[in-house]
Amino acid sequence: MRSTFPKSAGAGAVFPAACPQLRPSAPVSHADPTPLTSVSSGPLRGLLRVPGDKSISHRALMLGALATGKTRIRGLLEAEDVINTARAVTALGAPASKSGDVWEVLGRGTGGLAQPKGPIDFGNSGTGTRLMMGVIAPHDISVSMVGDASLSKRPMGRVLNPLRSMGVDVDGNGDRLPLTIRGTSRLVPIAYELPVPSAQIKSAILLAGLGTAGETTVIEREATRDHTERMLRHFGASVSTVSDAGTTRITVKGGAELAGQDVTVPGDPSSAAFLIAAALIVPGSDVTIEGVLVNPTRTGLYTTLVEMGGDVTFLNPREEGGEPVADIRARFSRLKGVSVPAERAPSMIDEYPMLAVTAAFAQGPTRMDGLGELKVKESDRLAATAAGLAANGVRAEVSGDTLTVHGAGRAPGGGRVATHLDHRMAMSFLVMGLASEAPVTVDDTAMIATSFPEFRSLMAQIGARFAPVEAP
């Protein structure tokens, strides 16, 4: 299937597909919650594609803006988070627009972005916000950044502090949005060890380093997704990655002239996760998703599902646009509980709500360690996931950064789940309702459009049943 242009991108955010110039900073708001119930569904079956990877889509737009000339992007994720990044680069003087099936960015060259006319609204997107801080940093411009209620609660100091040590100034209130970031063309390079395993922090520093004289280094103790490094190389930057004794040093040489490129975005494994998990827990299911990104920094969930006894196979492995891709087939399986090591967390950080729901349908406990970062996602996913499970009769405990789900091979369901403006909470618990004894209701589905606007229609295409509910 082809992703369609998001019609439900919030108030003021509907763009005619025939004339896709973006209006910078059009507000994205989700005033009216849209609850939804999922109900026990028959076997899920089908062969389909999921929309483009969100992480790669953000980066393609940003590097396109920093390159000289035209970048053409196929398979860009047309979800609100990425559309906000497209608006942001447009507001910074590098127009992004759609021509036929392809998105084009007219890049301004490294250091060439312009002062935007007003604040830039990043909606719900932590990735868009944090990576753009790095993009803006080496420019003599001052950019006001705003976001929705969820984004305005999320910590930005983790990116702003290293950028400050390079020379950036920030006006704001306690390192939360709204804030104003003041870049400078005279940044100084740093070597920075990540205090938490975060690809967003790594990427912001590398993107700032691209416009900084000298070499900027990020030191990682745990591998995080490496799309920024891969794409920087694809655009012609010099990036070295050296691993030694459990530490990796990633160094970018500043001042490189990037040239506009063709980019193909593979299917998002974090979106595919919902369909794959659904196939594993709904009896009789057999679902194949074509063209999914299987970069090892992203596949921790799939490793875990196989360890649980899930019948998950990777077909036709290949490389597309510098990233490994495969077709993933999943069939209903009798799952068993497992222990998921903390080291695996960065490679499946967005998939824990879905794994926790899946674990309810396994026999025995599933223990997930090292989940501290879940507390600062679009919601506190550790608490929200445990609460959602409890609301549906599944025993789960949180102890420190560990979540244990006591799988009983079934879930009673029947609960209403608070999603806290978090798309992945909504999708995970809607999947639960397809296999639980009683329907599951989520209090809001509007945020699903931030990452996976086609979720409901693709799920319905394979046989999932949903029932709209009246808002209370």
Binding site for ligand S3P (CB under 6 A): 55, 127, 198-200, 203, 225, 349-350, 373
How many helices and strands in the chain, by DSSP H and E?
Answer: 12, 24
Neighbours of 27 (CB within 10 A): 12
Q: Which is nearer to ligand S3P, 159 or 275 (CB)?
A: 159
Q: Quote helix, strand, coil % in the chain, to nearest 5.
A: 30, 30, 40
How far apart (Å, rounded) are the C-alpha atoms in residues 281 and 284?
A: 9
Question: What are 134's strand-pairing partners?
Answer: none
How far apart (Å, rounded) are the C-alpha atoms in residues 318 and 426?
A: 32
Question: Which is the catalytic residue, given 121, 148, 350, 443?
Answer: 350
Smallest distance, Å, CB 435 to ligand S3P? 25
Q: Which is nearer to ligand S3P, 220 or 327 (CB)?
A: 220
Question: Exposed/middle/buried for 395, CB within 10 Å: 0-12, 13-18, 19+?
Answer: middle
Phi, psi of 172 (to 5 degrees): 175, -170
Smallest distance, Å, CB 367 to ligand S3P? 21
Structure tokens at 302: 């799939």
Q: Which is nearer to ligand S3P, 80 or 350 (CB)?
A: 350
Smallest distance, Å, CB 285 to ligand S3P? 27
* CB-closest chain residue to ligand S3P: 55
Structure tokens at 104: 């084009």
Q: Which residue, 130, 54, 342, 346, is CA-closest to 223?
A: 346
Distances (CA, A) of 396 to 99, 365, 406: 48, 9, 6
Smallest distance, Å, CB 373 to ligand S3P? 5
Smallest distance, Å, CB 223 to ligand S3P? 12
Neighbours of 271 (CB within 10 A): 27
Neighbours of 142 (CB within 10 A): 14
Verify whether residue 350 is a known catalytic residue. Answer: yes
Q: Which is nearer to ligand S3P, 87 or 298 (CB)?
A: 298
Contacts of 172 (CB under 8 A, 6+ apart): 178, 179, 180
Question: What are 39's strand-pairing partners?
Answer: 465
Smallest distance, Å, CB 381 to ligand S3P? 10
Q: Which residue, 80, 81, 111, is CA-closest to 94?
A: 111
Q: Which is nearer to ligand S3P, 79 or 349 (CB)?
A: 349
Q: Which is nearer to ligand S3P, 38 or 57 (CB)?
A: 57
Smallest distance, Å, CB 422 to ligand S3P? 11
Q: Which residue, 350, 349, 418, 422, is CA-closest to 379?
A: 422
Smallest distance, Å, CB 27 to ligand S3P? 22
3-state secondary structure 61-94: HHHHHHCEEEEEEECCCCCHHHHHHHHHHHHCCC
| Whether the Cβ atoms of residue 133 and residue 163 lie closer than 8 Å to each other | yes
> Which positions are annotated as active-site residues?
350
